[in-house]
Structure 1
Amino acid sequence: MPDSARLQDFVHGHDRIFVLTGAGCSTNSGIPDYRDADGQWKRAQPMTYQAFTGTHAARQRYWARSLVGWRSFGRVRPNTAHEALARLEARGKSRFLLTQNVDRLHQAAGSREVVDLHGRLDRVRCLGCERVIPREEFQQEMTRRNPDWAGLEAARAPDGDADLEGQDFSSFDVPPCPACGGVLKPDVVFFGEGVPRDRVEAANEALETADAVLVVGSSLMVWSGFRFVQAAARAGKPVVAVNIGRTRADELLAFKVEQPCGEALSFLL
């Protein structure tokens, strides 16, 4: 039986599917992914929490690249993979969607029961007073302070970033928190930073009541997502992945569909 037919049987045969999505779900929306088919980095590893909080220079580099990248990232729209998963929920087949993405495209497509494991890029949070600011508002303030940067063109990079290699970031003016003057950080989980406990607990509770796991567009190389597949396998729940290339969980999978996410899930539409 072709894998596409097996996937349809898998979906039709379960009513409480725990869905876990990654970067491959959003590539057709124009957001690049981090890893190749072997699970290796395609580019330099992203900013770590330690680097971002450690030096002002690191924050200048991050926010300059983000200022340029947000212009296109802020306009991305859901693709057929997001729409198919929203349809899966609407049909009562999926009760919970855990995404490793920070783009909020599942919500834009209509999914309701979504937990953003790694946070959301459309908000900025103060590390001092915890004030939350809409990203668009912060974008306007950065543009006001750095008009020469706002017009730069650059290739898209993952997570709203832009490739600005060779630039001197030392003149970039990073706005402080308007409430306390503290350091502002995108409201996402950086590499090297822990996932908030409430998100992990919500996912574990949903996994307990699920009868199967569907991984869509993730190599599962990051522990924060892989642990849920491990837990499902230990509990004897079938796990199926839609992903092009190797995943960290290959030996735990019932089977894998190596097709683009939207194509593999098109039967739901």
Structure 2
Amino acid sequence: MKTHDDIRAFWEHRLGADWTETGVGYRALGRPFNLWMYRVRWEAFLREAGALELDRPNTRVLDVGSGTGFYVRGWQHLGVGSVTGCDLTEAAVENLRERFPDAKFMRLDIAEPGDAIEPAGYDAASCMDVLFHIVDDERYKAALASIAAAVRPGGYFVLSENFLHRPVQRGDHQVNRTLEWITAELDRVGFEVQRRVPMLVLMNAQVDAGPVWRKLWGGTLRAATLTNPTGWLAGAALYPLERRLVRSRRESPTTELMICRRREDSAG
């Protein structure tokens, strides 16, 4: 298994070389396709995060694994009072500080944040497409505990994950865990799940589908995105269908967005 230092070096190199939607997204499909994919993500995030019962001008948000700042921008678009972002890599933090001068950014490992994060200091936290890159289960649990400690009782946690109904899938840089396991760990640290909705349906790897469809659709996407022009056309063609599917389906074979709330009786 890769060590924690190996994993950090991997992401430091990847984001240092490609600080774009491709660097943090589905790299094999190229940037033009990823840009269309992130349009769908943007709409889903704004719809769900925008429905939270928050006094937005006075809301403090912690964004974990900020990457390129895509969801930092989303929170700012919603008009929250302040956003604090953090990332494992120095490459991301340096760029984020330049891109978002009105936000605060910290270089830290959310599984071992030390005293960098104010306890119960945030009304909401987000962790988007990050947790499945924590390949060690104990570090994943520690990350959830750190996020829970940062969110005030009654506050919200917005996350995206691959909530599998199938057995866990383990790789060097990504582990797709089961819905049952993830929700149990969320409950353990004091979060109640309020809802879970598709964030993508067809525009990502079909990790929770059967092996035949998963390989067939994955091959189709990679073939359609071999060049930047064909990737742009594939994204443009799928985009209107994807928007409808995300809104109409209750579950997805790929990335889903979950809204949790920290229990009022959670220990500080």
The structure with more helix, counted as a fraction of residues: 2
Q: TM-score, normalised by structure 1?
A: 0.34
Task: Say which structure, 1 or 2, has more relative contact order (CA 8 Å, 6+ apart).
Answer: 1
